[in-house]
Structure 1
Amino acid sequence: MILLSYKRGDFLIKKARCIPLRVHILRAMKRRVRPNHEKTQDFLNELGRKEAGIYGEQSLDYYLKLIPETDHPFYIFHGLRLPFRDTFFQMDTLILFSNFFLVLEVKFFKGTLYFDPKNYQLLQEVDDNPLKVYPDPILQASNQCSKLQSWLRTRQLTDVPCEKLAVLTNPKVITKVLSSPSEVDRNVVKSPALSAKVRMLLKRHFSQPLDKKFIKKLIKQLLKDHTPDNSSPILQYGVLPSDIIKGVLCPCCSPYKVMKRIYGTWECLYCGGKYDDAHRAALVDYALLISPFITMRELKRYLGLENRLTIISLLKNLNIEFVGGTKSRTYNLTPLLTKT
């Protein structure tokens, strides 16, 4: 769910952080795609990267609350994804102060980081593993600023200065600099020092604040142009319906085990757990991985149930509605997705 506006002290969150649909699908793939699928490790790697990013962004929230008070309110947008030419660009966190933007490129890295802006790269060393090479986060944040300025021009909005910071949210990460130390010092910060860095930026931007009507118009346009990423990892990784494990899965067993419906409840024959509404999660997975619509025949096969009246009762308790006549009846699972 996206919360469009709520107040915390002297700033307002205009777009709250939410878990992207793609991550929900990847998590469902982790639960449901057969382990021997040729792309399993690939999509698990993507999920690991995205979950680390989510954790890092969430851990930043505490430090955002410590940003110094200002004479004018400022506005925060999480995960804003805007059009740029024939594609889109997404910012981890965008802050609109009274007279400038601040783009935060949030990173949750472990081990030791070697910043090398001269060669547009970041090297990571974790224990005795080989060095990993990543794009330079300073350059990433700089590109976001450039694209944001282009977006402003495209929308015929007044040019607004843009600052950038790469924020490291893992308190245990070690940083070293291989090149351009002044650039790293200016644009990289660990999250506990974010407020001090913002204070310096506020002193740098002491010009007349933007007109309140313009800020209101700018916020409205930012939210209007936000376009969630609905790309499907199902297609990307070549997952077919036949690759997906059917049944109601035990939430406590790892790897997941299929449960049985016994005397009005779902029971796991491996750990002994009993659950009343475990079918809800199973139907959410179906909607994410296969289709938001399902027939009675497919319900029987997917849930492992033969009794039509039992299935109807389960769907009724979930407020699942159907469309079509008795023979062509299809159940709409979409409302379940709004609660994930």
Structure 2
Amino acid sequence: MTNSSAVIKTNPNHTAATHHVIHSEMLLFKIKSLQDLYKDEVMTIKDMNKLARLLLKHHSPATPDPLKQYDICQNKLQVGVYCLTCGSLPLLRSKGAWICPVCKTASKDAHLYTLNDYYLLIGSVITNKRLRWFCNISSRSIAAKLLTSLDLKQSGMQKKSYL
């Protein structure tokens, strides 16, 4: 626990929790007591390095699919760029900025937060068409400008291109 004034109470039947949950200022003392308790070396540095290489070799990054996990269809998503001030959806694109129709806040980069949502929900690859759908943009050229401004690596040519 990082808050030093937090009171740690445990269920009387769960006494192990008192040994595993501590305040942050006690962390160094806990590490020292564990070092004193476990003096015998279980693995050599060489063994640990070998294990680290083996773990790295067999590591595969997680590819979570929240839509599948929570059984949500893409067409059920509320699309559009949302207002960072009041949360309304969608913002309108006008003269190079996103304008909130509710609170009238203007933002040049509100689409970046929406693109982050796209990345987390849908994936790391986006096309002009997918950007227009997810950000609720009707103009191909505006979508192309937004994609170009991201300075991402493009693959494919013309209609088949993606970032």
The aligned runs of 1:38-77 (5 Å cut-off) are none
- Could you tell me which of 113, 135, 143 is aligned with 1:281? 113
Q: Deviations over 1:277-302 (max 9, x none)?
A: 22222223223323443443443343
TM-score (norm 1): 0.41
Q: Percent identity?
A: 29
CA distance in 2, matches of 1:306, 1:187: 55
More strand by share: 1
Partner of 1:175: 9
- Could you tell me which of 60, 75, 98 is aligned with 1:242? 75
Q: Which has the larger radius of gyration?
A: 2
Q: Deviations over 1:183-234 (max 9, x none)?
A: 5554443333222222122112233685332332233334444444333221
Cα pair 1:296 1:329 within 8 Å, conserved: no
Partner of 1:193: 26
- Could you tell me which of 286, 308, 314 is aligned with 2:140? 308
CA distance in 1, matches of 2:153, 2:120: 18
Question: 1:209/1:304 Cα in 2 relative to 1: closer, same or farther (>3 Å)?
Answer: closer
In structure 2, the gaps of 5 or more residues are none
Q: CA RMSD in A?
A: 2.9
* Corresponding position: 1:331 with 2:157: no
In structure 1, the gaps of 5 or more residues are 1-167, 333-340
Aligned residues: 162
Cα pair 1:320 1:331 within 8 Å, conserved: no
Question: 1:199/1:296 Cα in 2 relative to 1: closer, same or farther (>3 Å)?
Answer: closer
TM-score (norm 2): 0.77
Partner of 1:219: 52
Per chain length, whose mean CA-contact separation is higher, i.e. which structure has more relative contact order (CA < 8 Å, sep 6+)? 1
More helix by share: 2
Cα pair 2:2 2:23 within 8 Å, conserved: yes
Q: Deviations over 1:288-325 (max 9, x none)?
A: 32344344344334333333222222211112454444
> 1:263 deviation in Å?
1.2
